[in-house]
Homo-oligomer: A and B are copies of this chain.
């Protein structure tokens, strides 16, 4: 993994992924006690940054391999990213999803042209299903984060941040990134290596494996827990992503579900963007954990907006 792979991915994404805006509001600055810039990846195709990594991986395949189709195991944003990237490359996508996934997500993935294969979470092994399908049909598995081309694709977000921060007159900043397996965080960290922009991860309480692993300098798993931040609930840091973050990232920040919902509400009120709780934890870190931050400026990556109406309404209700 190196910056050249990210620059190559940026070349492949040009004209296909959106350059998302860097937003701000004087009200957020006031609440956070410092300058806050928000990279609105919820405005990316399929409503999250995942489209970048999916496009990067699918576009990097040799044409013959790509023509046989791709497969992903995901109930959420990665599924939609892979489905759209495959469809726009004129190839097929098989998405393995739990049978009890929300109907809207299953429908959306199908609407993007993917073949959805449902499995029973209690009795079936999704990895085994994925592997046997891949072998049977000659499909290429696109992993959600532990894949160099996926990390390179997510890293293109960092190249845009570097350019947009410069245009905004920002010389140094903490770049807070919503973190599940670490694909987005590690990609951005690589893209910003050597600059005065330092990545810090943000995670929900109970799923703070990356923050604890960075402290311990080894990959630690999460115990049993629950959170509304469904987009970023992963068991432990990735094999490829952790060494990158261990070398480049500052200390992780951990937020509560309530803090994430408050950030969803503030993004609605001040920025006019729709965030899902898992896509709002970086902003939540800036708004609710100011004492843990030293930089004069924070750039928060708002990683996704695929939230169901009821959850969003519950965030709005907190505005009173």
Which positions in A face B, CB cutoff 8 Å? 18-21, 23, 26-27, 40, 42-43, 47, 104, 111-112, 265, 268-269, 271-275, 305, 309, 312-313, 316-317, 319
Contacts and interface: CB of A to CB of B under 8 A. Distances in A.
Contacts of A42: 272
B26 A112 contact: yes
A313 B319 CA distance: 12
Contacts of A313: 313, 316-317
B305 A309 contact: no
Most B C-beta atoms less than 10 A away, residue of A104, A111, A313: A313
A20 B19 CA distance: 11
Given A20-B21, A21-B21, A43-B271, 14 more contacts: A19-B21, A21-B43, A23-B43, A26-B111, A26-B112, A40-B43, A269-B309, A272-B275, A272-B305, A273-B273, A274-B274, A312-B316, A313-B313, A313-B317
12 contacts: A19-B21, A20-B21, A21-B21, A26-B112, A43-B272, A47-B272, A104-B269, A265-B309, A272-B305, A309-B319, A312-B316, A313-B313
A258 to B, nearest CB: 17
The 9 closest A-B pairs by CB, nearest first: A272-B305, A309-B316, A272-B274, A42-B272, A313-B313, A309-B319, A47-B272, A268-B274, A313-B316
Nearest to A104: B269
Nearest to A113: B26
Contacts of A47: 272
A111 B28 CA distance: 12
A26 B47 CA distance: 12
A268 B43 contact: no
A40 B42 CA distance: 13
A273 B268 CA distance: 8
Contacts of A273: 43, 272-274
Contacts of A274: 268, 272-274
A268 B309 contact: yes
Most B C-beta atoms less than 10 A away, residue of A20, A269, A275, A317: A269
Nearest to A319: B309
A231 to B, nearest CB: 13
A316 B264 CA distance: 15
Contacts of A309: 265, 268-269, 316-317, 319
